[in-house]
Amino acid sequence: MKIKAIHHAAVPLPSKIRNAVIDFSQMTFSLVVVESDIVQDGKPLYGFGFNSNGRYAQPGLIDERCIPRLISAEPHELTDAETGTIDPVRCGDVMMKNEKPGGHGERPVAIGTIDMALWDLVSKADGQPLYQHLARRFHVDEPNPEIYCYAAGGYYYPGKGLEQLREEIEGYLALGYRDVKMKIGGASLAEDITRIEAVLDVLGGDGSRLAVDANGRFDLPTALEYGKAMQSYGLMWYEEAGDPLDYQLQAALSANCSLPMATGENLFSMTDTRNLVRYAGMNPSRDYIQVDPALSYGLPEYLRMLDAISAYGWQPDRCIPHGGHQFTLHIAAA
């Protein structure tokens, strides 16, 4: 099995929705297609990947560093020696040739996007759904195809009032979702509390079915003020209150707010994630880690993260990967 070519495009994702920090009107994403030399049913076998949600397309990194390294590698550097199949873990090592550690920037987004496409390719070549392919590859006895999911919405939108917010949440429940998440921090505290109460009303007052997400907007006093105002609702979790790399802020908030905490979608490496569990006061029996494999070097780095944080008492079921895409669905199942 060989990689014949890797195609990619930067695709616009124009949308007027916004969270507390960004709007999505200029957002783009990278779409990657890995073309193999395998022919199935008369057609070449392709693997597809995209760079998840919330980070921009990475055409430069993909074009200038990732693709040339993969295409110029010797076949044995990219394949499993026993089966001759493309090995995405080895491909990840090749893409990281001549890269210094740390300073991750958005390099993990470029590599994670190609990693997604490679896993898609190898599971198709294997004739298995990805989660079954992964379970066998990584020696998981019993993959669990029943995955916890929630509906992430509740964005701000021009002209969107409480009635539209309510209708949106009712729509998720009608689709079969039990739990939902909404954005906070893009309005005043008083207005956000009104929005939260409107959603809780739709959920029958059950705060354990509602998570809130500030997208890293708050300084510590604001994070604490929101925490105090929301504490009595018994919410499912309070996500990314402050800057995702401000572990001291997170630790102070964790110590002064009883709500479960959630963060991680803007951590892109094993080391960052290990620092989070070391220094941010996160509680492995209460809180959640939400790294997105497609944004953070792909599955090999995600496995390194799970391994590193297990030493601090974190189980994989406290990790709810960000992104809402099929790749994380299959990883969680495996």
Provide the mask over 165-204, with x wherever binding to Mg ion is found by CB under 5 A and - wherever it is not: ----------------------------------------
Nearer to Mg ion, 120 or 192 (CB): 192
Nearer to Mg ion, 87 or 213 (CB): 213
Q: With beta carbons less than 8 A apart as the criterion, state whether 134 and 110 touch.
A: no
183, 228, 325, 330: which is the annotated catalytic residue? 183
Provide the token pair at 126: 């294997």
Residue 237 beta carbon to Mg ion: minimum distance, rounded to whole angstroms: 10
Provide the token pair at 282: 């996160």
Determine the interface stretch with Mg ion among 61-69, 137-145, 209-217, 305-313 (rule: CB under 5 A).
Answer: 209-217
3-state SS class at 250: helix
Q: What backbone torsions phi and psi does residue 31 show, to the nearest 5 degrees? A: -110, 125
Task: Note if 181 is an active site residue.
Answer: no
Nearer to Mg ion, 168 or 213 (CB): 213
Alpha helix segments (H runs only) across the chain: 59-61, 67-72, 75-78, 88-95, 107-126, 130-137, 162-174, 189-202, 220-230, 247-256, 270-279, 299-310, 326-333
Residue 176 beta carbon to Mg ion: minimum distance, rounded to whole angstroms: 22
- Count of residues that interact with Mg ion, criterion CB under 5 A: 1
124, 322, 325, 330: which is the annotated catalytic residue? 322
Distance CA 244, CA 272 (A): 10
Task: Note if 322 is an active site residue.
Answer: yes
Residue 21 beta carbon to Mg ion: minimum distance, rounded to whole angstroms: 10
3-state SS class at 98: coil
Nearer to Mg ion, 46 or 302 (CB): 302
What Rg do the C-alpha atoms of the chain give, in angstroms? 21
Distance CA 189, CA 195 (A): 10
- Residues in 228-257 at the binding interface with Mg ion, rule: CB under 5 A: none
Q: How many CB atoms lie within 10 A of CB 104?
A: 18
Determine the interface stretch with Mg ion among 130-138, 156-164, 206-214, 277-285 (rule: CB under 5 A).
Answer: 206-214
Determine the interface stretch with Mg ion among 37-45, 73-81, 118-126, 208-216 (rule: CB under 5 A).
Answer: 208-216
Nearer to Mg ion, 5 or 22 (CB): 22
CB neighbour burial string for 149-162, b if at least 16 within 10 angstroms, e if fewer: ebbbbbbbeeebee
Provide the mask over 85-104, with x wherever binding to Mg ion is found by CB under 5 A and - wherever it is not: --------------------
3-state SS class at 35: strand
Which of residues 213, 272, 287, 301 is near Mg ion by CB under 5 A? 213
Residue 315 beta carbon to Mg ion: minimum distance, rounded to whole angstroms: 21
Using rule CB under 5 A, residue 115 touches Mg ion: no
Determine the interface stretch with Mg ion among 4-12, 116-124, 187-195, 211-219 (rule: CB under 5 A).
Answer: 211-219
Nearer to Mg ion, 110 or 212 (CB): 212
Distance CA 166, CA 155 (A): 12
Q: With beta carbons less than 8 A apart as the criterion, state whether 183 and 216 touch.
A: no
List, by residue number, the catalytic residues: 183, 322
Residues that bind Mg ion (CB under 5 A): 213
